[in-house]
Amino acid sequence: EAGVAQSPRYKIIEKRQSVAFWCNPISGHATLYWYQQILGQGPKLLIQFQNNGVVDDSQLPKDRFSAERLKGVDSTLKIQPAKLEDSAVYLCASSLGASYNEQFFGPGTRLTVL
């Protein structure tokens, strides 16, 4: 079974530029999560989707971050404009549904903002 796919794996941009990340969850998984993991810290939830609806975006910095999951399958996360403190690994995870606790993570996108 294919796992969670993410691209790109690495991205280097300058501050104030824009960047987008893509995630394709495990087939059949209704719930999709985006996390931000800063070096030395645990993953922090940015947004949770159930199919194409947002369940929780309380920790998403909405002035610069946006995410969508238009068809209820793959998802994009965008940062516009980027700040130095956005340097982190952006992890996408999926689960069968909101009531299922086990989350399967993708390999992440490592973002460096210069």
**Residue ranges in contact with other proteins by CB under 8 A:** 31, 33, 35, 40-45, 48, 55-56, 91, 95, 98-103, 105-108
Query: To the nearest whole angstrom, how small is the minimum distance from the Cβ of residue 11 to other proteins?
Result: 15
Cα torsion angle, 62, 86, 21, 105, sign: negative
Query: To the nearest whole angstrom, how small is the minimum distance from the Cβ of residue 69 to other proteins?
Result: 15
Is the Cβ of residue 33 or residue 65 nearer to other proteins in the bound state? Answer: 33
Is the Cβ of residue 27 or residue 41 nearer to other proteins in the bound state? Answer: 41
Query: To the nearest whole angstrom, how small is the minimum distance from the Cβ of residue 102 to other proteins?
Result: 5
Is the Cβ of residue 13 or residue 98 nearer to other proteins in the bound state? Answer: 98
**φ, ψ for residue 3, nearest 5 deg:** -90, -165
d(CA 93, CA 30): 11
In 38-113, DSSP assigns E strands to 44-50, 53-56, 65-68, 75-79, 88-95, 104-105, 109-113
